[in-house]
Amino acid sequence: MESGDTSVAQQKTKYNMVKEKIVEWIETGKVNPGEKIYSENELVQIFGVSRHTVRQAVGDLVHEGLLYREQGAGTFCSHRPKQSQQPHHLSSSNTNGKNIGVITTYISDYIFPSIIKGIESYLTTQGYSLTFSCTDNNVEKEKQCLQTMLGRNIDGLIVEPTKSSNYNPNINYYLELEQNNIPYLMINQFYSQLMPPHIIMNDERGGFIATEHLIKLGHEKIIGLFKTDDLQGVHRMQGFIRAFREHGVTFFPEMVITYSTEDVYSKTLNQLEEFFSMDEKPTAIVCYNDQLAVSILDVLRKLDLKVPEDVSIVGYDDSFLAEATEVKLTSVTHPKMEMGIEAAKWIVSAVEKKEMPPSKVYEPELVVRNSTMQLKKTSLI
């Protein structure tokens, strides 16, 4: 074996050692759900490995859903349901006999662990048990989740809608909840057919401020990438278009690339590469979320384009991913844990006081980092 191969093998062995030990801590209860694990510096000292090895191991465990990150707070142990083709279900213990159902599109990736942590942190202090379920943004799985929740005689339900921009075929289950006087609340978006109580972001405003930021930096040829089977993406796209109108910048229809849950990589990234093969290349990109923005960073690297020198990028959600790469993403805020806590307080009030608090809309802000910069004007001489 060559010396370089030996070095790679040793690094892989160290990486596996770190990862397997953290998994062991979780499985044996040394670290319990919701508890913070050691800091990056502490893990480097404990295992005697490089910071890169620690980041790689922890990053994998976050991606797999065993850990989750809270910006500014650290890395925590999360609940981990088993993967399957069926909806995921996970229950926690209770003391007062009341049970709240929680249905999200995803449960162990991206911003969802933080939202769930917020819900759980409040409800468990109130003595409620929780039944978690995950639809993977699939309406058939949502149907199964709703059937399960109704079968468990839940006292209330917190739901993140599945493919909220489409007609939802599961409306009858929500009407059954209403007939049975079981309160439910929708988060992140809601089904327009029902107009239920909800806690959401002003996503149109978020798309606007992301685009306006780039326009004020001198960018005009800006691409917008938006997921359109969820209303969040539709509204962010509306804000994107409004920014062009209000600032008197010429808008070209082909500058909007839309995609659905299933075709994000097969369609979006290929289409993006085509844009950058043209003579007049875009100078900025507004992304549906940080997750997509990180994937685009990889595409731009392959095209030998630098961020922000050649292309400025704005993400959305201000997730842990915004600071996970060498390029720190300018991103629109999402309340995440705060939204989870607020949803939990709402459902407790609805269950115990029989009062329906008003819906809530969070106003987004833009966190500016180093993925955006003033457009350099090229000389005509």
Which tens digits make up the pLDDT trace of 280-329? 889 999 999 999 999 899 899 999 999 999 999 999 999 989 998 889 99
Compute the distance between CA of residue 3 and CA of residue 310 in angstroms, rounded to an integer.
37
Q: What contacts 2, CB < 8 A, 6 or more positions away?
A: none
104-113, 229-238, 291-300: which is most confident: 229-238
pLDDT: is 89 or 230 the higher one? 230
CA-CA distances (angstroms) from residue 326 to 57, 91, 143, 298, 353? 17, 38, 41, 12, 49
pLDDT band with cut points at 50, 70 and 90 for residue 240: very high
CA nearest 211: which of 307, 314, 290? 314
pLDDT at site 65: 67
Which residue type, as a one-letter code, is found at position 343?
Answer: A
pLDDT band with cut points at 50, 70 and 90 for residue 9: very low
Query: What's the gap between Cα 155 and its chain centre?
Result: 27
pLDDT in tens, 153-165: 899 999 999 999 9
What is the rounded average pLDDT of the residues 189-218?
97
What separation, in Å, do the N-terminal and C-terminal C-alpha atoms of the chain show? 56
253: Cα within 13 Å, side-chain hemisphere: 0
Q: Which domains does the chain have, with CATH numbers?
A: 3-77 (1.10.10.10), 88-200+335-362 (3.40.50.2300), 203-334 (3.40.50.2300)
Q: Quick one: what percent of the chain has pLDDT higher than 90?
A: 56
Q: What contacts 201, CB < 8 A, 6 or more positions away?
A: 188, 232, 334, 335, 361, 362, 364
What is the rounded average pLDDT of the residues 331-356?
94
pLDDT at site 355: 85
330: Cα within 13 Å, side-chain hemisphere: 25
Residues in the chain: 381
pLDDT: is 3 or 258 the higher one? 258
Structure tokens at 134: 């995950």
Structure tokens at 62: 């976050």
pLDDT in tens, 92-104: 544 456 899 999 9
pLDDT at site 4: 44
pLDDT at site 6: 40
What residue has token string 């599945």?
162
pLDDT: is 195 or 3 the higher one? 195
pLDDT at site 334: 96
pLDDT at site 207: 98
pLDDT: is 86 or 355 the higher one? 355
pLDDT at 356 over 80: yes
Prediction pTM value: 0.77
pLDDT: is 350 or 253 the higher one? 350
Angle at 244 between CA 243 and CA 245, to 5 degrees: 90
Contact 97, 362 (CB under 8 A): no
pLDDT at 380 over 80: no
What is the rounded average pLDDT of the residues 69-73?
67
Contact 186, 197 (CB under 8 A): yes
Query: What's the gap between Cα 320 and its chain centre?
Result: 9
User: How many other CB atoms are there within 10 angstroms of residue 25's CB atom?
Assistant: 16
pLDDT at 330 over 60: yes
pLDDT at site 51: 80
Structure tokens at 274: 């085509």
